[in-house]
Structure formats: structure tokens, C-alpha cells
Structure 1
Amino acid sequence: MPSQRRMRLYVLLLALAIIITLYMTRSSSQTRTSPFYVKTQEALQAAEYVEASKQRDAEKVGSRLKAAADDARKAAEEKGKKFVDSVTGGDADKAPRGRYANSKDGKQQPLEGVAVVGGRTQDKKPAKENETEDYHEAEVELNTILKKSPIIIFSKTYCPHSRKAKHILLQTYDIDPAPYVVELDEHPIGLKLQEVLADTTGRRTVPNVMVLGQSIGGGDQMQELDETDTMAETIKKLGDTRITRVTRRSQQSEMPRARRRV
């Protein structure tokens, strides 16, 4: 039989256990009813409700888009066209939505190029990795220059090939509107302009003669067009209605004054 001292120790431990249990139960109850606990639970429940609502809305939108794509695909098939989705350019489930590619042999036709300065169409080029503000400024300046006249002569004052091209276009021929001359060595941003011209036309040297934004060559090409009597035809064809007159001058004709941009 346990001693009296040991019995008192057991009773004391039991009482301590009961007190700790009652304290923990009371603390838990008070925590659950505290304003902070209640607000936290309400906020969590609200966040869960909002997230669930967003997910339901997204599922509804996805279902509507899929239904619209299915309807467009059916309409395209009825018209004998291939449906192309508007996102990836591939099949109906992965391509630009609402675009169609006419197909004679079942193959998708390639997209056409994009219009660039002067209305010329060419394949889209990737952005230059080292493009700077100066380069962008030169692009803007080039667009401004191309509006001065249907024919632009990019030249350098000391270049013999440039002098040959200017002599042919300004003295040998009477062109209306008159060609607009840009001397790159005298232009404030001539070097950057020449860089943009190289990227735009593929021609890095001067002269660079452009008709409605399309390069037709330099001094040698102008000489060849003159000697083969195809200068007027070429300029009229490229200039369309913007060029009102291209005629060859006689040796006694008065030389025109070109508008110069420096």
C-alpha cells in the first residue's frame, strides 16, 4: 500500500492535470470567439469564395470561346475555307481565331509581308538588338524625308557616283515633282540615316535612289536605265499617279533646281 506521502503527490499531480486541461479548454474557447480570430476566418472564407467565383467565370468564358470557335469552324467548312485560329496560326484549336487561309492543295498559304516606309511591302524583320534612341530618331527622320517627294536621292557631296545619279535625274530628265536630294555627309544624323537605309533597303552605299520608299539603285543603275531608255517607264510604274511627268531633256534645256535637304 502506497505511503501517505506518495498519495499526496498523486493527488497533487491529478489536480495539476485537471487545472491545465481546464485552462487549455478555456483558452481555446476564448480564441475562437475573439474578434481577431473571427475576422481572420471571415477573410479566408471570402477569399475562397472569390477564387471559386473567378474559376467558375473562367470556365464559362472558356466554354463560350470554344463554342464560338466550333461555330466559326463549321461556317468555314461550309464555305470551303480552312479555319485558322487567331492565337497560334496553326489548326483550328491553336491558331488565330477568325482568320481564314484559302487552300487549293490543303496547305496553309503563308501570310503576306507588312507595309513599311513609303508603302513598300516586305517581310517583317526582327527588331534590332542594339536599337537605340538615335536609331529610332533616324527612322522617324527617314519617314519625314520620304514625304518630301515621290523620288528621294540619298547622296554625298564628294561621291562621284552620287554626282552621276544627280546629273541624270536632275539634268537629263524633267521630272515632276522634282526629286528631293539629301546629302548624308551634311545631314546632322546622316550616319544613322545611312544605317537605317541599309536595314530598310539592303543598300548600304550611296547614292541610294528611292521611288515611293522603294530603292531602285545607285549611279550605275541610273546610268543603265538612262542608256536603255527605261528610266521614264520605271519611274512612272513605281511612282504611279504621284509622278505627273518624266521626260528626257534636250541638250539645250534649262537645268532644273533640285530641292535640297541638308
Structure 2
Amino acid sequence: MASQRRVKVLLIGVLAVVFVILYYTGDATRIQNQQFYQSTVEAMDARAAAKKSASDDSGLFQKLQPNRAPADAELVRSNREKLGYESKDDNQDTEEVSIAGRTKMQKPKANKSESENKEAQEKAEVEAELNAVLKRSPIIIFSKSYCPFSAKAKSILLDKYSVVPAPFVVELDQHPLGPKLQALLAKNTGRSTVPNILVNGRSIGGGDDIAALDRDRTLASTLKSLGGKRIMEAAPKAQKEV
């Protein structure tokens, strides 16, 4: 009896030990499975979050991209205007240039061609020559040495009348700027032919006009009226002698 009881106790102890071993082994396996599962889930969540973040960033970049070009273009245009690279009116001879981003000043455009610069220089030279000629006398006779109408006008004003100061004669065919002076006279007085008689810069006509004034005996009064104080005397020589 005693031996059977010992055997039962031993079996019960063995079963208890086996039960305990099985219990802890199963619990450890369960814990490991839970950790693997959680790690896997966390890794998958992290990967999904990364993809979503990349997608959101890409969409945001695409949305912002179209708006950058106008902003950058506007910034470049503003900077170019500040530096004076762009004029506000291309049809003008001057352009505004910013200094230190504040004060603006006008300067001549530097994009004229060499021919345009030369033409402007010649124009200024002809105008200066005409002004110099007009200062020589209140009465200027623009003539050509071979022209019969010019000869008629010179004969009346120089030989038939006594005028003080005497009229100054410019033979355009002998003057180095003759053609250009004649073109400028045509523009300023509306008369392109010779002779062209100017009194204080105003044209009173050509040879036929001077002859008509002489015939009507109004030439002297016309010269005095237009010449003002610059003409001290204007009268027919024959009348003066009488």
C-alpha cells in the first residue's frame, strides 16, 4: 500500500512539473507571437505613413509650382526696372534710371545707331550755321550765283536801295552746307527755292516778290516794319538824292 501511494504521489508530481513546463512554454510563445505581430503592424503603419507623407509633399509641390513662375518673373522685372535695364517708354529719347532704388533721373538712350547719331550731329551743325548767318544782318539774301531771279533780288536790294546795315548775301551753291541750309530754310519758312529773302528771320519771298514790293513802293516800309530797330535806314537811293 505504501509503495502504491508513493507511486501516485510521484506521478502527481511529475504531472505537475509537466503542466508547469507546458504552461510557461506556451505563455512565452504567445508573448513572442504578440511582439512579432505588434512589430509587423508598426512597420506596416510606418511604411504607409511614409508613402502618404511623400504623396502629400508631391501634391503640395505640384500645387505650388505654377504660382512660382509669375512671382519669380515679377521679381526679376522689378529688379530690372530698379537697375534701369528697362525703360518705361521705348518711343521716347530718354529713359528713367533709378539711383539707389529711390531717386530717378532722365538720361539719353544709348541704343541709337551710328547713322542716327551722325544725322543728329549734322542737323545740329546746320542749325548752328543758320543761326550764325541770321546774326550777320537783319536782312539775309539766300541766293545762288547763277540764278537770274536771285540776281534780280540782289540788284534791287543792293543797288537800288540804301539799307543800313546792308543785306548779307549767302550763295548757297558756294557754301559747304548749302543744300542742307536750303532744306532747313524750306522747313522753317515754307520756301524751298531761291532767292529767299529773310527779314529778322521771316521770309518776305523771292525775286518776283521783291520786284512787286519795289513796284508798289512798299519795299522800304516793309523792311522797316519787319526789321524794327535793327534797320536804321531803308529808302530808294534816287529818293534820297532828291
TM-score, structure 2 as length reference: 0.53
Contact 1:154 1:209 in 2 (8 A): yes
Contact 1:177 1:243 in 2 (8 A): yes
**Match status 1:6 vs 2:37:** yes
Partner of residue 170, structure 1? 158
| AA partner of residue 233 (structure 2) | R
Q: Structure 1 CA distance, aligned partners of 2:209 and 2:42?
A: 116
Partner of residue 134, structure 1? 122
| AA partner of residue 201 (structure 1) | T
Q: Structure 1 CA distance, aligned partners of 2:137 and 2:47?
A: 102
Q: CA deviation at 1:141?
A: 1.1
Match of 1:227 among 202, 212, 215: 215
Contact 1:134 1:192 in 2 (8 A): no
Larger Rg computed on CA atoms: 2
Partner of residue 13, structure 2? none
Q: Structure 2: which 5+ residue stretches go unaligned?
A: 1-29, 51-118
Partner of residue 236, structure 2? 248
Aligned positions, number: 141
Q: CA deviation at 1:13?
A: 5.1
Q: CA deviation at 1:6?
A: 3.3
Q: Structure 1 CA distance, aligned partners of 2:149 and 2:120?
A: 31
Q: Which stretches of structure 1, 4 residues or more, deviate above 4 A after TM superposition? A: 13-18
Q: Structure 2 CA distance, aligned partners of 1:219 and 1:16?
A: 106
TM-score, structure 1 as length reference: 0.49
Contact 1:149 1:178 in 2 (8 A): yes
Partner of residue 197, structure 2? 209
The percentage of aligned residue pairs carrying the same residue is 51
Q: Structure 1: which 5+ residue stretches go unaligned?
A: 21-130, 254-262
Q: Structure 1 CA distance, aligned partners of 2:211 and 2:120?
A: 37
Q: Structure 2 CA distance, aligned partners of 1:172 and 1:15?
A: 118
Q: CA deviation at 1:229?
A: 0.6
Q: Which moved more, 1:134-143 or 1:166-175?
A: 134-143
Q: Structure 2 CA distance, aligned partners of 1:6 and 1:204?
A: 108
Q: Structure 2 CA distance, aligned partners of 1:11 and 1:240?
A: 110
